């Protein structure tokens, strides 16, 4: 996930994209009932999924600095689809 995301962002920048939006997860801040997080809150990754998301976000910041593309990380709490909900 990290390498592929980073490569995709570089390719988008080379193709002229001005912004790259990455769907991350609030799980990079750990588990709990908290409803709001601040960007400066500590990353408390606890599994491969959350560590991969946090590493991808970090890699994308490097891509943004190197290429000039704006990087936006969104971190949905819940994903819904086909009658199921997945807590992220």
Q: Which residues are catalytic?
A: 49
DSSP 32-72: SS-----TTSPP---SHHHHHHHHHHHHHHHHHHHH--EEE
- How far apart CA 33 and CA 20 sit, in angstroms, is 29
């Amino acid at each position: 996930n990290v390498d592929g995301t980073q490569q995709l962002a570089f390719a988008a920048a080379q193709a002229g994209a001005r912004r790259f939006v990455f769907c991350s997860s609030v799980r990079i801040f750990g588990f709990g009932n908290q409803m709001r997080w601040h960007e400066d809150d500590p990353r408390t990754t606890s599994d491969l999924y959350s560590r991969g998301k946090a590493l991808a976000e970090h890699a994308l910041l490097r891509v943004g600095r190197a290429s000039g593309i704006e990087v936006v990380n969104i971190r949905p709490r819940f994903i819904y689809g086909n009658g199921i909900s997945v807590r992220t």
